[in-house]
Structure 1
Amino acid sequence: MKKNLLIVDDDFDTRFILKKVLENEGYGVSLAQNEIETFEALAQTPINLILLDLKLGSTSGFEICKKIKNNINFSGIPIVSITVSQLEEDMIKAIEYGFVDLIGKPFNNKILTTKIASIIRFKEEEEQLRKSRKELIRLNRYTSIQKDLLSQEAEFSRDLNQFLDAESKKEFIRERFPGFLGARLFTIFSIDENKREFKLFISNHEELPHNLVVPVDSESIMYEVLRSKKYLFLQDFNETRYKKNRREKYLTDYVCCVPLISGHRTIGVLNVNDPDSSDIDRFDFEGRIIRTAGHLAVSLHNTILYEKVRDLSMRDSMTGLFNFRHFLDALRHEMERAQQNEEHLSCIMLDIDNFKAVNDNYGHQAGDLVLKELARSVSISVRSSDIPARYGGDEFVIVLPKTDKSLALRLAQRLMRLFSGKSIRIPDGNKSIKVTLSVGIAEFPGDTGDMDELMKMADEALYRAKSTGKNKIVDYSQD
């Protein structure tokens, strides 16, 4: 690249000779003979070196040098003095004012051009060294930041994996995720491939229901990520082809959608919206999301497996309802909560009438079908907050939190209508049989404040129902 020099001298012959010599060496040359022309030339052309005479008529070259050095735009340009003066005090003063060298008049062309080339080369090397030092400082700072980020990610992953159960993990993610990622909003969906739907696992969108289910839509961004198993980072979501279900809650159009892949299986999708800062380093931000999605996928997969195993351990293998051990734990927990919050809680016990006769007359396979049909009817009748369980044999129990006796009675009546007298097809000769239920109800705190007493009272009410004709509902406190 051509280097540009500025010659500042009020002598025409000197300017002419210097210009010719330096242009022959391949330099671009600008000329000035006073302070005004000097700064005009500096403003017009990038200058690599200035040759400045110390005597410019009424103007001192020292003063021009001082003004150049005080100007932030030109202070880095090396200045060489050209002068006839051989006075020691002028030489010292030139050094003090910032001249990098002094060349006496008349000058030797070879010495002049060699010095100029050397000074420019030294300046370039100095500038390159300065840039390298600045880049090294930047890289050191960047490396330190990346080290801190990776340390934070390792800490987040370690803390995340402390929790196996879904509820504890959700609470941890809800509390730590936004600040950790550096974004305002996020959602994590699991995928049910059999039902072709996304189920909300956790989100900090206040308006989203916790049980939100989103059908797999071929026009949605989540479907595209699920299909391709590749992440998408969109700077302007509203300009894309994906189906728009966005509301005014978003502050930006920036969207991150990342598949959660554990092994070879896609188990869900992570969505991130509204980075904390518009000037955020996208490379770092998106890299963190991708790495975090990897940690999340493995952790959530472990939670899914844990929940499946735990659910199996809490379930009765035949009916799919909760087993007796889980029922006792759940009843104890709900009783404590009801006592603390001064709430009602009801307990329903039910038993299939003449179940022994079903087994004796039609076989145990038919009896199993009847038990499964009752379990299905119970599952249909109860609410999501209720706890239905197989108590043992043909006896079942339901805990109804926040439920007084009148509401428990209505639920029991609904179950009776659904099951009692229903024709159940059995494998023996394509026959159908009809069975009925007996039901007993007890309530906390109306009947008792003790858990064991509550179960005994519900069982006693059930016994009275069976001993007084069966196929009926008996409230413990009724005469």
Structure 2
Amino acid sequence: MTARILVVDDVPANLKLLSARLTAEYFEVMTATNGTEALEICARAQCDVVLLDVVMPGLDGFEVCRRLKADPKTHHIPVVMVTALDQPADRVRGLEAGADDFLTKPVADVALLARIRSLARLKMLGDELRLRAQTTREIGMTDALVEAMADDGLHGRVLLVDDRDVSQSRIAAALATGQSVSSEPSPYEALFRAAEGEFDLMIVALELRDFDALRLCAQVRSLERTRMLPILLVADHDQTARVIRGLEVGVNDYLLRPLDANELVARVRTQIRRKRYNERLRSNLLESMALAITDGLTGLHNRRYMEMHLQSLLDQATARDRPLSALVVDIDFFKRVNDTHGHDAGDEVLREFAARLKASVRGIDLACRLGGEEFVVVMPETDAKVAQLVAERIRRRMAGDPFRIARGARTIDVTASIGVASFDVAVDDAASLLKRADVALYRAKSEGRNRVAADAA
């Protein structure tokens, strides 16, 4: 996997050393000698991971990291602090500044490269979400992301998988004030609990007695319901090789014993913040997808969705040799409603009309607002005779009860004209089917409105 790495260090020898090590592994390397230059490069979205020295003149690494994580445009870029500072308090300070990891020099090549690859994979997944949600961001997603960025990573649900009572108790006690911890000594049960529960993080002890902890991590990654659940590995100092293997199978972060309680708390919060941030991205993406295929006024599917989905329904009907029918429904004299009572009243009529239309058809039927006062219903498994009965039911439901307007203060009578056409595999495609239903609609209008007309193939 290739990625673009930004190395930030004010010491030329350090830049050359890290650049050579990364280039040898086929990473694309960029360099910066100070914090201001690093911020400018990141703002141009020119890197996938930042390797950031802490001790630099001007802006130090902590401040650079804080600024990167405070900016919606750069918040998603993983930051690894690489420094000679080796105290737990230094690591905690880096993590609290927003760093994704804090590595102490000298850093072993294998550990560094495994960490970079892991973070680059996560970043690329986030990039895909961000790209797909671009339109949503332009119409208001920035506010949602700023809110997500401000998340403190507290009050998460943590599943702790550790079969040693003393270790389990210490980890749970360290996290008790900020997180809700559920302990599970059995890795078999842990997998089920992870899939069934709404956890924000799984902590796994690498040294489980009768089970390979990395196999559990791989299983968590393979299940659809737990694929995005962050995993924090807890290991002994002599298990570095297995930790690196864990990063390769999808572990997000790790801690080596003896554990520093403050660092544990900071790393847990980092993982929970990142999960919530990505969840917000996915949520906005799903919302934007729904908006793209839904009519905002009536809640029915829109013309775009109908055009995408209708051909699939026709293909299915052809393959199974099953009937399919379409209705084109138009509100009679709708312009009079707007002209007489105003556009607000017209909107109320459209919403109520859509609600009655949807209540008149089955769940498998496709009800759409084609535009203006025109609607379409596509009915799989429905022949011409049944389609006309459904159309007549819709017509009666519209004409049977007055429509309320002015927030219920007044009522008006509303009727509909409906054209019906049934799919003929020998002559029809999506366009011709709707065209025949439309021709039938115009005949219903010309014959006096408030009626159903059918068009034969």
More strand by share: 1
TM-score normalised per structure 1: 0.43
TM-score normalised per structure 2: 0.45
RCO comparison, higher one (Cα < 8 Å, 6+): 2
Tell which structure's C-alpha radius of gyration is larger: 1
